């Protein structure tokens, strides 16, 4: 009986020792698991925003470039950065229109002097289809009581200023618009005068015809320049 009780006691102590060992192992494993999870979770939490912030800074660095003054502005696309300014009207066009305007001014001055001095125009016939005197003394040589020669003189004084190289190179949009508008009015008046000579007076004047031709050329060149090279942009206030 005593031996049996001793055996049962040893067995009970052995079972308790095994149970304690099992609980200790489970607790250690649980702590290790929790610690590992916490470390991994903390690393993921800490690394996630850091990686995202790094990627955001990389993208921002590509999209924003510092200028010479150190400010950060959006970088222009290659097409926009290399886009040229508005093409300038070439020099030959500027000089050609300026020379034509000076020629028209010279003829207009001579016609105005001849009108007020009532002198015959040099080298111009006074009979037949070409009859300068008949044209310059006709009722159609006045518009609203103003001599056509004086109107032509005023037109070409303005044309010389508007056709000068300085006016062509101006960045003011208004100057180029005034040039176009004046030539539209001028060509309309020339068409009326040509009609009057051919169908009302029945004669033409060589000097007047030269003025008409110069106006046609100026009109054509100016319209071509506006179509080919455009007008300056409107200046913002």
| pLDDT tens column, 167-186 | 999 999 999 999 999 999 99
* Boundaries of every domain in the chain: 2-81, 91-229
Q: Quickly count: other Cβ atoms within 10 Å of residue 166's Cβ.
A: 10
- pLDDT exceeds cutoff 70 at 41: no
User: Rounded to a whole number, what is the largest CA-CA distance in the chain?
Assistant: 170
pLDDT given for residue 119 in this prediction: 85
pLDDT of residue 8: 67
* Number of neighbours of residue 108 by Cβ within 10 angstroms: 24
At 62-100, the pLDDT tens digits run 554 444 444 444 444 444 333 334 458 999 999 999 999
Predicted pLDDT at 232 = 87
Give, to the nearest 10 degrees, the angle between helix 173-195 and helix 148-162: 150
Q: Contact 126/132 with Cβ under 8 angstroms?
A: yes
Our CA angle for 215, 220, 222, nearest 5°, is 95
Q: At what angle do helices 91-117 and 206-229 cross, to 10 degrees?
A: 150
pLDDT at 88: 84
Query: What per-residue confidence (pLDDT) applies to 25?
Result: 56
Reading the block at residue 158, the tokens are: 């303005």
Closest CA to 176 of 98, 233, 93, 214: 233
Report the C-alpha gap between 166 and 168 in whole angstroms.
Answer: 5
Secondary element (H or E) of residue 36: helix 2-63
The continuous run of DSSP H or E covering 73 comes out as strand 72-74
Residues 6+ apart with CB under 8 A from 88: 169, 229
Range of lowest pLDDT (46-55, 82-91, 216-225): 46-55
CATH superfamily ID and name for 91-229: VKOR domain (1.20.1440.130)
Q: Mean pLDDT, to the nearest integer, of 199-218?
A: 96
Q: How many CB atoms lie within 10 A of CB 73?
A: 10
Q: How far is CA 187 from CA 50, 127, 173, 207, in A?
A: 73, 28, 22, 16
pLDDT band at residue 5 under the 50/70/90 scheme: low
| 106 pLDDT tier (thresholds 50, 70, 90) | very high
Strand pairing partners for 73?
Answer: 65
Alpha helices in 64-205 (DSSP H): 78-81, 91-117, 132-136, 148-162, 165-168, 173-195
**pLDDT at site 209:** 95
The mean pLDDT of 19-48, rounded to a whole number, is 50
CA distance 22 to 207: 126
How is residue 77 annotated by DSSP?
A: P
Dump pLDDT digits (tens) for 117-163. Answer: 988 898 887 778 899 989 999 999 999 999 999 999 999 999 999 99
Average pLDDT score, the chain: 78
């Amino acid at each position: 009986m005593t031996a049996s009780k001793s055996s049962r006691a040893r067995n009970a102590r052995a079972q308790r020792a095994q149970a304690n060992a099992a609980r200790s192992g489970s607790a250690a494993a649980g702590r290790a698991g929790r610690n590992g999870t916490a470390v991994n979770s903390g690393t993921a939490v800490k690394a996630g925003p850091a990686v995202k912030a790094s990627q955001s800074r990389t993208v921002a660095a590509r999209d924003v470039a510092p200028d010479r003054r150190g400010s950060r502005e959006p970088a222009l696309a290659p097409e926009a950065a290399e886009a040229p300014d508005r093409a300038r009207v070439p020099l030959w066009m500027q000089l050609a229109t300026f020379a034509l305007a000076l020629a028209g001014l010279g003829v207009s001055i001579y016609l105005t002097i001849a009108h007020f001095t009532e002198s015959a125009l040099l080298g111009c016939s006074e009979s037949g289809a070409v009859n300068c005197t008949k044209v310059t003394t006709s009722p159609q040589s006045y518009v609203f009581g103003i001599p056509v020669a004086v109107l032509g003189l005023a037109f070409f004084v303005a044309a010389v200023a508007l056709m000068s190289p300085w006016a062509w190179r101006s960045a003011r949009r208004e100057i180029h618009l005034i040039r176009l508008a004046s030539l539209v009015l001028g060509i309309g008046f020339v068409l009326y005068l040509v009609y009057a000579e051919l169908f009302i007076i029945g004669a033409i004047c060589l000097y007047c015809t030269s003025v008409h031709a110069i106006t046609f050329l100026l009109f054509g060149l100016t319209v071509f320049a506006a179509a080919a090279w455009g007008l300056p942009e409107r200046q913002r206030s």
